[in-house]
Amino acid sequence: MSQQQVLRLRKLSLNELNAIFAPLSYKDRIKTLYEYFAEEDVLYTSSFGTKSAFLLHLISQIRPSQPVHFIDTTYHFQETLGYKKELIERFNLKVVDVLPNEAQNKMTTDEEWWKEHPRMCCTINKIAPLEPIVAKHQVWISGLMSYQTDFRARLRVFEQQGDIIKFHPLIDIEEGEFLYQKGVNKLPDHPLQAEGFGSIGCLHCTKKGQGRAGRWTGTGKTECGLHPNYYNKKKD
């Protein structure tokens, strides 16, 4: 049995994983992840938003065979879909589109749920479609960075989220380093970034603003639900 197989068979606690990975660089964290988890057990999702290109670039270099799941809520800006196409071609990405239930999605459209029920709109169009995919994986790569929000500032490299482990290789990168790496690697910006959009999600719930200030403005909502503690197994 190889050392890699031994490592995968041994179930490490979150504290053990964080002790191993926290001192590593973000590149080494990604490389080392696959010594502890088989690729088929690793989930990677990307929104193809304003901060997505850097991690997509890293994954394409370090683990080019890793699939990238994209949640197509049907409410994305056309600019986001164009940006997605550009990055797929540039990095030769293997992208898997995840779509909501057609009837439920139509209901949110017909009744404009994003106005009065933004949390449920996200649940139907983002969270529920990904739930069966999450259930098939052990660890979920996420591009969250601590400087973005107070919630993200409290996260470690590994966090338990329901029944899956979230992996944040970029969590402690400083904003200046992030911007420097984007420039050095000549990574393209999202087309709407130049128009004043700091963070970009669905068309109806995204406005211009620095950072995440333009997301769900006036609702008190700051996360779609993919990052807080969703995806608990249902009790029989």
Which pLDDT band holds residue 162 (cuts at 50, 70, 90)?
A: confident
Structural domain contains residue 6: no
Q: How far is CA 28 from CA 9, 20, 62, 167, in A?
A: 21, 11, 9, 13
Structural domain contains residue 8: no
Is 122 designated active site?
no
Structural domain contains residue 64: yes
Structural domain contains residue 31: yes
Which pLDDT band holds residue 234 (cuts at 50, 70, 90)?
A: very low
Q: Would you state the pLDDT for residue 218? A: 53
Could you tell me which of 52, 107, 54 has the C-alpha nearest to residue 83?
Answer: 52
Check residue 206 and report its DSSP letter: B
189 contacts 50 by C-beta, under 8 angstroms: yes
* Residue range 192-228, pLDDT digits in tens: 988 888 778 898 888 765 655 545 555 555 544 454 4
How far apart CA 151 and CA 153 sit, in angstroms, is: 5
The pair of three-digit structure tokens given for residue 173, joined into one six-digit string: 């990168």
> How many domains does the chain divide into?
1
Structural domain contains residue 160: yes
Q: Would you state the pLDDT for residue 7? A: 55
Structural domain contains residue 222: no
Q: Would you state the pLDDT for residue 70? A: 97
* 165 three-class SS: strand
How far apart CA 18 and CA 192 sit, in angstroms, is: 36
Domain of residue 149, CATH code: 3.40.50.620
State pTM to two decimals: 0.85
Structural domain contains residue 100: yes
Section 175-196 average pLDDT: 91
Catalytic residue among 121, 122, 205, 224: 224
Name the residue range of residue 135's domain.
14-205
* Residue range 51-103, pLDDT digits in tens: 899 999 999 999 999 999 999 999 999 999 999 999 999 999 999 999 999 99
Structural domain contains residue 119: yes
Question: Which residues are within 8 A (CB) of 120 and not within 5 positions of it... i.e. 6 or more apart?
Answer: 108, 113
